Amino acid sequence: MLRPRPLFAYGTLQPGLAPAAIAALAARLRSAGEGRVRGVLYDLGPYPGVVLDPEAETWVFGTVLAVPDDSLLGELDRYEGPEFHRTETEALLTSGARLRCWIYEFRGNLRGAKIVVSGKWDGPLL
């Protein structure tokens, strides 16, 4: 098991998708594999937001990231801001294994947000 608890990233924290403002911090996180969580993914413009729902029939796809130490979590919390809440969830890895991990769940206003039907965010639409 990874220590500290890994982070499930579905947006700008995924490898190759970090904006310049967070690139140095994101580079300190290492991919531990691909996976998915149950919920709904929304396109919020420059970044996505997930609303978790363990009963959902839809999946959100992303990357499980190894967090080298807990001090990084505070930095990530500040980056994500007040609309995103770090919470625990269970990810299903491509290997079939299940893993408890952190995820940033969107708790802001979804008015006007579009659902990402594929469940996979590849960067902001230009």
Residue 110 falls within a domain, yes or no?
yes
Residue 48 falls within a domain, yes or no?
yes
- Tokens found for residue 54: 């363990």
Residue 1 falls within a domain, yes or no?
no
Residue 17 falls within a domain, yes or no?
yes
Residue 2 falls within a domain, yes or no?
no
- Backbone dihedral region of 68: left (phi > 0), alpha (psi from -120 to 50 degrees) or beta? alpha
Q: What is the 3-state secondary structure (H, E, C) of 35-90?
A: EEEEEEEEECCCCEEEEECCCCCCEEEEEEEECCCCHHHHHHHHHHCCCEEEEEEE
Q: Count of alpha carbons within 13 Å of 110, Cβ hemisphere only?
A: 15
pTM across the whole model: 0.93
Which DSSP state fits 114? E
Residue 123 falls within a domain, yes or no?
no
Task: Collapse the DSSP code of 25 into the 3-class scheme (helix H, G, I; strand E, B; otherwise coil) and give the result.
Answer: helix
Please compute Rg for the chain using Cα positions.
13
CATH number of the domain bearing residue 73: 3.10.490.10
Could you give the number of structural domains in the chain?
Answer: 1
Residue 28: pLDDT over 80: yes
| Residue-number span of the structural domain to which 12 is assigned | 7-115
Residue 126: pLDDT over 70: no
Hey, how many other C-beta atoms are within 10 angstroms of the C-beta on 55?
A: 6
pLDDT, tens digit, for every residue of 29-86? 999 999 999 999 999 999 999 999 999 999 999 999 999 888 899 999 999 999 999 9
Residue 31 falls within a domain, yes or no?
yes
Cα dihedral 7→10→16→22 (10° resolution): -60
Residue 65 backbone phi and psi in degrees, to 5: -110, 135
- Percent of the chain past pLDDT 90, that is, above it, reads 83
Residue 82 falls within a domain, yes or no?
yes
